[in-house]
Amino acid sequence: MSPRPPPTLEDSLREMFPEEWLRQTAKETGLIKRERKIDPVIIFWVLTLSFGVRLQRTLSSLKREYETESHKTISDSSWYYRFTPELVEFLHQCVIHGIEELAKEPGRKLSKKLENFQDIVIQDSTIVRLHSSLSDKFPAARARTVAAGVKVGVMVSAVANGPKTVALYSEKSAEIKTLKIGPWIKDRILLVDLGFYKTQMFARVEENGGYFVSRIKKNMDPVVVSIEEGMPKTKCKDFIGKPISECIKQLSGKDIDAVVKIAFKRREYKGKQKQDEMNVRLVAVYNDEDEKHHIYITNIQKEILNAKDIANLYGARWDIE
């Protein structure tokens, strides 16, 4: 038997967006109520492969392309009135579906030390500047003149080696608002920068069976519960109950692995906000180049990743940046 030829780009795209899925999504988003002259499958491919790759740039040229592909002549109104919010939602769902399908493809494998985790994910966002005529709908956060923009929140997966989710927010949205923690975080490590620093969020990650690594804010000085590594056991008890800054001063140049207590407020419920606290692992790794400690907090056990491993893991964020 002759070997099977490798799949073409067309094969891959049709597998990712099967006709049945496109028709069902068109109905769910309200794009198509009753299929008459406009076929949702054909309009999807015409918009994707004609406008999406800049072969056709006007609605009239896209209409002619649609007529060629469908072997039907349609009126201008049948075509122009199809460009509605329902079409936007349909294409939005197609983008989300495409990203999810890509994330399912075999990607990189985590190293042996991380083999017990499903994935490492990194959340970040960037501002995309829009035309000033859109300032009423998408106002810029900081601008002396009339300006518009959106915040694009992206979650990157180490295993998929690419975006896991992409979402748009108001430019004024706080970073933490772009990160929704739920059951999906189970057995995954979340790397976040200070824009996402919130103890309440760390607690939700842990409660959902996930893991986190973050730098610690400069104004944070949590109290030591125990010292795991970094000093003789006979001296460890001298630091219990003291701020971590005192430990760092007295152990200049040495790495410290400790458990600290952090107080925080739960989300407001029925007008009340409950005080709470949690113990987290704090790792302070001395950096010879900067001549200071780099401090991280995590809930990953030291038996799995030591202090230097935590610092190296967090350094993966810069690859994403």
Place of tokens 């003149």: 145
Measured distance CA(132)–CA(210) in Å, rounded: 41
Q: How many CB atoms lie within 10 A of CB 151?
A: 21
Instruction: Please list the residues that pair with 217 across neighbouring strands.
Output: none
Element (H, E) at 99: helix 85-104
> Whose CA is closest to 77, among 57, 63, 91, 96?
63
- Residue by residue, DSSP assigns 15-28 as HHS-HHHHHHHHHH
**CA 301 distance to own-chain centroid:** 24
Domain limits, the chain: 9-104, 121-179, 199-318
Check residue 89 and give its pLDDT: 93
Check residue 84 and give its pLDDT: 92
Spatial CB neighbours of 129, under 8 Å, sequence gap ≥ 6: 140, 147, 148, 149
Place of tokens 């009753």: 34
Pairing of strands 162-170, 148-157: antiparallel
Q: How many CB atoms lie within 10 A of CB 103?
A: 18
- On the 0-12 / 13-18 / 19+ scale of CB atoms within 10 A, 63 is buried
Taking 3-state DSSP, the helix, strand and coil percentages for the chain, each rounded to the nearest 5, stand at 35, 25, 40
List the pLDDT tens digit at each of the 321 positions of the chain.
555 566 677 788 888 899 999 999 999 999 887 766 789 999 999 998 887 666 767 889 999 999 999 898 989 988 998 899 999 999 999 988 887 777 666 556 778 888 889 899 998 888 898 988 988 888 888 777 888 899 998 888 888 777 788 888 888 888 888 888 889 899 999 998 888 888 889 999 999 999 999 999 888 888 888 877 756 666 677 778 888 888 888 777 788 888 999 887 777 666 677 788 889 999 998 888 888 889 999 999 999 999 999 998 998 777 656
Check residue 231 and give its pLDDT: 63
Check residue 254 and give its pLDDT: 81
Measured distance CA(176)–CA(131) in Å, rounded: 26
Measured distance CA(161)–CA(316) in Å, rounded: 12
